[in-house]
Structure 1
Amino acid sequence: MRDNPVFSSQSGSADSALSTNKVLRNTYMMLAMTMMVSAITAGLSMWMNVGYGAGMIMMIAAIVLIWFVLPKTANSSSGIYVVFAFTALMGAALGPTLNRYLAMSNGGEIVMQALGGTALVFFSLSGYVLTTRKDFSFMGGFLMTGLVVLVMVALALMVGSMFGFHMPAASLALSAGIVLLMSGFILFDTSRIINGGETNYLMATVSLYLNIYNLFTSLLHILGVMGDD
């Protein structure tokens, strides 16, 4: 007896929707837990007064984890530990930066404004995609091009600072560009999850985490410059 084509199509769509909802639910649960882990390790890093050198080493170690280790473990339970280790290192690496801003006269206000701004942007953009279910996959090429350009600008500014050339206006423009780019990536990555483009919740978690992390640090820089007396 042949399967009813209408029934099969509806069954397949239902299975696909259930799978997508599962990935979405697991992603946001994992994202919330990794944010808590990062907050704890950032607090410990601040309390221990970790320096920028140690912070840079931890960030490099975190990058190694997601570039070389996570792709090999993303489909196993080991990947969960890799993601937690990655976010713990990223949180600890943020400690020196937070200490520097908190040392300013209005540092606490700046950090809270950056946190609030990050939350507002993330929840607004994610909520828009989840509500409309629009497909933002068309932004992929533009976002990757923008990412390459911003990385090149960041490297140029880094090399320039090593030779004594400090360009605060360019650095501020770079942070503004990162804010816009990360906002685009939030739309793009959330859209990929709900439209089936990303089926691994660990990889999805890392993508959204990096969007939030870079958005927060860039807003922190912008607010810090604007609020510096």
Structure 2
Amino acid sequence: MEHVRTVDSALAQSTEVSRVLRNTYLLLSMTLAFSAVTAGIAMAMNMPHGAGLIMSLVAIGLVWFVLPRTANSPTGLVVVFAFTGLIGASLGPMLNYYLSTANGTSIVLQALGGTAFTFLGLSAYALITRKDFSFLRGFVVMGVMIMLAGMLLLLGASLFGYHLEALHLAFSAGIILLMSAIILYHTSAIIHGGERNYIMATTSLYLAIINIFTSLLHLLGASED
């Protein structure tokens, strides 16, 4: 009887994991497509960088303060699409800037290709090997704290007229490393039962993809310069 309960529990867990994975990747693909649409609209409107910054701040407010309270309800889906739509639109001015430079189209396409290769490769590795990457938790938490501190440092320096390009490049490379760890960590969390909310899982993976893309844009753009 105990053996039957164990088998039933394992089957239920496997079914739940499959459900969360399916919903996560479906929602992720939909939000990425929606972001592409809003980015295209912002580019067509030639939206200024200031408006993009405001949209980014509103999006951060949604994901920090609103999403955690709504992630277990249908309202969470509305918040996710609002968040990803704002992030997509905020990328419009940046994309217009790179596309206006020499080899800009090539830079954007390379960044897109590099982002897709990184995300798909890391996700496939975590899914195929089923390795437990929970040991990355400490690195992810510390990395996010360092990333936020670095953003404040670079922002403060730019406000005082200091353009620390070498630090910007190192920061972008560090973000790619951190976001790669986040992809492994959150994919592993879904597989091993640590993440059961597909809305939160989607948001984490979405942020990792966007940050990898923007960091690659910066690195590739600097290499062209």
Report TM bin, short chain: over 0.9
Match of 1:188 in 2: 185
Query: Rg bigger for which structure?
Result: 1
Q: Residue by residue, what CA displacement relative to the aligned partner does 1:175-221 show, whole Å, maximum 9, x if unpaired?
A: 00001111111100110111111100000000000000000000010
Structure 1 residue 152 displacement after superposition: 1.2
Structure 1: how far apart are the matches of 2:161 and 2:53? 20
C-alpha distance in structure 1 between counterparts of 2:85 and 2:148, whole Å: 24
1:216 matched to 2:213? The reply is: yes
Shift of 1:150: 2.2
Distance 2:77 2:167 in 1: 38
Runs of 4+ displaced beyond 6 Å:
none
Gaps of 5+ in 1: none
Secondary structure at the counterpart of residue 75 of structure 1: coil
Q: State the number of aligned residues.
A: 225
Letter in 1 for 2:113: G
User: Which of 115, 119, 124 is equivalent to 2:116?
Assistant: 119
Question: Which residue, out of 167, 171, 179, partners 2:168?
Answer: 171
Alignment of 1:52-201 (within 5 A): 52-201=49-198
Q: Which runs of 5+ in 2 are unaligned?
A: none
Question: Residue 9 of structure 2 aligns with which residue?
Answer: 12
**Cα separation, 2, equivalents of 1:164 and 1:66:** 31
Separation (CA, whole Å) in 2 of partners of 1:98 and 1:189: 28
What do residues 11-43 of structure 1 show as CA deviations (whole Å, max 9, x unaligned)?
A: 001001100110000000000000000000000
2: distance between equivalents of 1:51 and 1:197?
41
In structure 2, give the amino acid aligned to 1:83.
V
> Is 2:15 the counterpart of 1:48?
no
CA RMSD in angstroms, aligned pairs only: 0.7
CA distance in 2, matches of 1:118, 1:17: 29
Larger mean Cα displacement after TM superposition, 77-86 or 118-127: 77-86
Identity percentage of aligned residues: 55
User: How many angstroms apart in 2 are the aligned matches of 1:37 and 1:96?
Assistant: 17
C-alpha distance in 1 between matches for 2:147 and 2:65? 23
SS of residue in 1 equivalent to 2:196 = coil
User: Please, what TM-score do these two structures have when normalized by structure 2?
Assistant: 0.98
